[in-house]
Amino acid sequence: MVVAPTPAVAQEEQKPPVTVPALTDWAPESGSYVYGPRTRIVADTGAERRVAGTLADDLRAAGHGTVPVVRGGARAGDIVIDVRPAESALGTEGYELHAGKRLSVTGATGAGAFYGTRTLLQLLARGDRIPAGRTVDVPRYKERGVGVCACYIHVSLPWLENLVREMAYHKLNQLLLELKVKSGAHPEANTWGYYTKDEMRRLVALGEKYHVEIIPEINSPGHMDPWIENRPDLQLTDSDGTRQPSRLDITRPAAFDYYTSLMDEYAQVFTAKSWHMGADEYMLGSDFAKYPQVLKYAQDRYGPGATPQDAFVDFVNRVHDHAAGKGVDLRIWNDGLTGANTVPVRTDTTVEHWLNVAVKPSQLIAQGYSVMNAAYSLYLIRGGFHSDTGSLYDQSWDPRAFEGEKLTSARGVTGAKVSLWPDNGRGETENEVAVRLWPALRHIAQATWGVPHPDATYAEFVARGTAVGHAPGWRDLTRVPVADGTYTFGRSFTASVQRTADGYVTLRSAAGCLAISGGRLTLNVPLQPGVEATWDTCDATNTLQRWELEPATGGFRLVNAITRMALTVTDDGRIVQYPPDQRPPAVWPLT
């Protein structure tokens, strides 16, 4: 008997629909689900209606029209949201999706049903007809994340909002933000780079809507200079009397009180059940012997056999206990756990492993710690190292592959994240960072939720990401609101406006290109408020000559692409940069 070949269309329908992360458990059925103008979202309980409301918002944002949320029986073409706590096999984030005459999404929790709707949105990104079939989709790891150091420098809120939406769209659930919230208790610490509490509340609310837990970090006891540069009384001082503005003196009760008061102030804004204290690179490039007070503190507290490292661990544990008293878990980086201590870190502390040191991930897990993989190979550093996502994909990288050790089991591994650092703050603009980030974000989503290598080649995996596109509500921050040309900016100046490849503009006059080039540098960025804008020799590679034209009533604001400060005009006519909450930005009509 001769068997006729299966038509190409039928073969295609047998494959799982294209999503990121990829579906690995797809049972095809005959027919298809059709989304149309009569589609409704059926949801009865409070948990179901919350998921349905977010889905309705996103369908509208994605251009699929306004879809009503209703109670009661479903009809053909409807989307059914179903939260069934008894479906324990789905876990807290898994879901079942069934496409037929109607489409149903079932989760044991609201979070699980929510992730099912992310898959639905990706399926609809390719058209209103979805092949009939069923999938049960459960994440392999509980922590799937991105870390952003908006430390020292300022990363714009629209950029962070885009990130939250993209993370949720790809089923990532944890955003670590190392950043400064403008302090009411310690105004001496409010150097620029900060965010207002209202700005962060807005971001946290978006994260809660999209099931992205936003975990704050104030790095300590090292890297504290954004907080203590104006507090010399809290700075660690060596035996020569030289103060270290980046290091907190962990032997001083006032230093601990200062740090925990900042934690308490952050609790007014952040709702996460985790706190990250950093705890990395405290004595980078230094010898504890130059700080005899550290050893004395340790020995006074733990006896003559104590080491200077015990004083460091003691500080970590005291921060842990303060957080635990508020119902919050502690997270730290791994490099401070060198094995030189005799006092252990509290074992319910999550260790985020980024650097290969003497104490390996397997040892930490054996000692009872939960370990997250935040490998250096997953780093994206402005003006520096960039993760080779293609190579990682080709290696079938997964969260068991730590720096210095590949584990045979996922036991004790919470998950993994990519990390963004601003070491050379002017090395790249936000928009340039985004171009690098999206492939890395999709890869970490795939590696933490599903199988690490769903497609034969990296090019095919990239095409998968392109097919699902960006999240509903994602804003194209590279759009310039005016055409290239010569404009007069109010009564201030006339300049040629030209779009840059990364979606900003340069302003060129006979005197040169408008730039911020003076003032004190932090991470190679002039972050000093009040610095005057100058007309410098034009240089297409100089990111400090790139500007965002921000629409405002009556014209446009000018925001520097790197410093993220807006220009204002002083009484004597000078054009200077200031944080927008310190001086109202100038608004220029363009003619």
Which tens digits make up the pLDDT trace of 342-398? 999 999 999 999 999 999 999 999 999 999 999 999 999 999 999 999 999 999 999
2: pLDDT strictly greater than 80: no
Structure tokens at 340: 């030189």
Q: Which amino acid is at 197?
A: K
Q: Residue 529, exposed/middle/buried by CB under 10 A (0-12, 13-18, 19+)?
A: middle
Tens digit of each residue's pLDDT (9 = 90 or more) over 237-288: 999 999 999 999 999 999 999 999 999 999 999 999 999 999 999 997 788 9
Question: What are 179's strand-pairing partners?
Answer: 150
What is the reported pLDDT for 8? 47
Tens digit of each residue's pLDDT (9 = 90 or more) over 550-566: 999 999 999 999 999 99
CB 435 within 8 A of CB 467: no
- How many C-alpha atoms does 494 have within 13 Å on its Cβ side? 6
Distance in angstroms (rounded) separating the CA atoms of residues 61 and 68: 14
Phi, psi of 275 (to 5 degrees): -130, 130
CB 170 within 8 A of CB 21: yes
Q: Crossing angle for the helix pair 110-124 and 157-169, nearest 10 degrees?
A: 90
Number of helices (H), then strands (E), belonging to the chain: the values are 13, 31
CB 455 within 8 A of CB 556: no
Q: Catalytic positions, please?
A: 281
On average, the pLDDT of the chain sits at 96
Task: Please report, rounded to a whole number, the percentage of residues in the chain having pLDDT higher than 70.
Answer: 98
CA nearest neighbour of 18 among 464, 469, 472? 464
SS3 446: helix
Residue 12: pLDDT band by 50, 70, 90 thresholds?
low
CB 180 within 8 A of CB 194: yes
CA nearest neighbour of 216 among 201, 232, 237? 201
Residue 13: pLDDT band by 50, 70, 90 thresholds?
low
Distance in angstroms (rounded) separating the CA atoms of residues 194 and 182: 6
Q: Residue 467, exposed/middle/buried by CB under 10 A (0-12, 13-18, 19+)?
A: middle
271: left (phi over 0), alpha (psi -120 to 50) or beta: alpha
Task: Please report, rounded to a whole number, the percentage of residues in the chain having pLDDT higher than 90.
Answer: 96
Q: Between the CA of residue 49 and those of 54, 55, 75, 138, what are the distances in Å?
A: 9, 10, 18, 22
What is the reported pLDDT for 14? 80
CA end-to-end distance (rounded Å), the chain: 79
What average pLDDT does range 479-499 have in this prediction? 97
SS3 16: coil
Q: Between the CA of residue 476 and those of 439, 498, 502, 503, what are the distances in Å?
A: 16, 18, 11, 9
4: pLDDT strictly greater than 80: no
What is the reported pLDDT for 286? 82
Rounded to two decimals, what is the model's pTM? 0.97
Q: Residue 517, exposed/middle/buried by CB under 10 A (0-12, 13-18, 19+)?
A: middle
What is the reported pLDDT for 366? 98
Q: Residue 499, exposed/middle/buried by CB under 10 A (0-12, 13-18, 19+)?
A: middle
